[in-house]
Amino acid sequence: MWSFKNIWFQIHWLIGITAGTVLIVIGLTGATYSFQEEVLDWANPGTASVPLQPGPALTPPQLVAALQAAGEQRRIDRITLYAEPGRSAQLAFVPEKGERRGQSVYLNPYTGALLPAQRGREFFEWNERLHRWLLLPRDDGKPITGSLSLCLLLLSLSGLYLRWPARPLSWRSWLTFNVRRKGRPFLWGLHSVAGTWVLVVYVMLTLTGMYWAFDAVRTPVDRWMGAPSRAAARAEQSAAQEAARKAPPLELAPATLEPAWQGFAQLASGWQFVQMRLPQRADQPLQFSWWAANAPHDRARNQLSLNLDGAVLRDDRFADLPAGRRALAAIFPLHTGTYFGITGRIIVTVAALMMPLFAITGWLLYLQRRRSSRAAGQAQR
C-alpha cells in the first residue's frame, strides 16, 4: 500500500523524467527572451539608439514629413516614440495582403533618416515561437506549452511537499544544505534547496503561462476581472484591418497630424513612451497608447483617442481602471519579471537558467535510486 507521500514522489519523478527535457527548452528560451532588446542593441549599435545631438527630437508629423521627402509611399500604421534622449523612433507600415504585421523600421529621432535594420531579430522571433508554441502552429502549440506549465507547477508543489523539513520554522532547514556531502545526499540537498529558492518564481511563471495557454482559464479569469471579450476584440480588429485594406488610401499630410499631436502633448505631460496609431479611413481617430514616468510597469498604458483637429474622443487612464483590469495588465510583466524592474528580470532569468540543474540532478537521483534498488534485489536472491 503506497503512502500519500509515496504517491507524490511517484508523480514528481514521473513528470521530471518525461517533461523535464522539454522544460529545459522552455526555460532556456525564456531566459534568452528576457534581455533580447539589450542584446540586439549591443549587436546593432546605432539602430535602437543614436548619439545625442543638440536640439529636440522630431515630432511624429516631422518624422512623417522626412520619410515622405525620402520617397516613402507606403501607408503608415503606427509610430512609436520614447522620451529618452537618443532613443530611435520606430515606424510600422500597414500590412500588405496576406501579412500578419507590416514591416517596421527605425528612424533617427533627430533627422528622420532611416537607420539600419537590426540583425538578429529573426533569431529572437524564432526563439519566442519556440518558447511559446514549440515552433508548432499557434493553436497546436498553446495547449502543449500550457500543459508543460502545469507540469512545472506540479513539480514545484510536489517538491515542496517532499522536502518539508522536520523543523519548518528554521530558515536554515529551507535555504541551506551541507555542501561537503557527496553522492546522493549532496545531489538531494542541491536539488531540493535550489528548488526552494526558485519556488515562488516558478509558481508565478506557471500560473501566468497557463493563463495564456488555455482559453478555458483565460476566458473566465477575464470575465471575473471585468475585461471585455477577447474574441470580440480580435474580430473587431480583424474587421478593421480588412476594411483599412479595402478602403481608399487616406492621404495624411504631416501638417494634418499636428493638431492631434499637440493635443496629446498637452494631455499627456511627462509621457515616457507613446505608440501613435494613425487612421486608415476618414471616420477613424488617432489613437495614442502611452505611459508616464510613474507607471508601475510597461503594460500600465493610458489610452487616448483624438480627432485630427485635436478634439478628445476618449481619455482612459490606467490608474482609473478597476482593480481587476489593472491586475490583468500585470500578468505579462509578472511573467517576464519587469514588474519588479531590473531586479525582477534578473531573478526570473536566473530561475529560468536553473531549469537544466533540476533536470540533471533529478535524473542522477533517479538513476542512483534505480541502481540501489537493483543491487538490493540481487542481494536478496
pLDDT, tens digit (0-9, with 9 covering 90-100), for 277-287: 998 887 789 99
**pLDDT at residue 72, as a whole number:** 85
For range 314-328, the mean pLDDT:
95
**pLDDT at residue 254, as a whole number:** 84
Q: Where are the alpha helices (DSSP H) in 101-198?
A: 121-133, 138-162, 171-175, 183-197
Q: Please report which helix (H) or strand (E) contains residue 315, including its range.
A: strand 312-316
- The mean of the pLDDT values for the chain is 90
Q: What percent of the chain stands above pLDDT 70?
A: 92
Name the band, by pLDDT with cuts 50, 70 and 90, for residue 62: very high
For range 319-347, the mean pLDDT:
95
Report the DSSP pairing between strands 271-277 and 302-306: unpaired
pLDDT at 380 over 80: no
* 180 touches 44 (CB < 8 A): no
**pLDDT at residue 101, as a whole number:** 79
Name the band, by pLDDT with cuts 50, 70 and 90, for residue 166: confident
pLDDT at 346 over 80: yes
pLDDT at 1 over 60: no
Name the band, by pLDDT with cuts 50, 70 and 90, for residue 240: low
pLDDT at 377 over 80: no
- The answer to which of 81-90, 117-126, 238-247 has the lowest mean pLDDT is 238-247
With a CB cutoff of 8 Å and minimum separation 6, the contacts of 225 are: 322, 324, 325, 327, 328
Name the band, by pLDDT with cuts 50, 70 and 90, for residue 243: low
Cell 470580440 locates to: 232
**pLDDT at residue 245, as a whole number:** 61
**pLDDT at residue 158, as a whole number:** 95
pLDDT at 301 over 80: yes
- Burial (CB < 10 A; 0-12, 13-18, 19+), residue 50, is buried
pLDDT at 310 over 80: yes
Q: At CA 285, angle to CA 283 and CA 291, rounded to 5?
A: 165
Of the candidates 93, 76, 152, 112, the one whose C-alpha atom is nearest the C-alpha of residue 358 is: 152
- Burial (CB < 10 A; 0-12, 13-18, 19+), residue 178, is exposed
Name the band, by pLDDT with cuts 50, 70 and 90, for residue 246: low
Three-state SS for 4?
Answer: helix
**pLDDT at residue 284, as a whole number:** 86
pLDDT at 135 over 90: yes
At 207, the amino acid letter reads: L
pLDDT at 329 over 80: yes
* Joined grid coordinates for residue 370: 534505480
Q: Please report which helix (H) or strand (E) contains residue 368, including its range.
A: helix 355-379
Phi, psi of 275 (to 5 degrees): -115, 120
Higher-confidence position of 208 and 377: 208
**pLDDT at residue 60, as a whole number:** 95
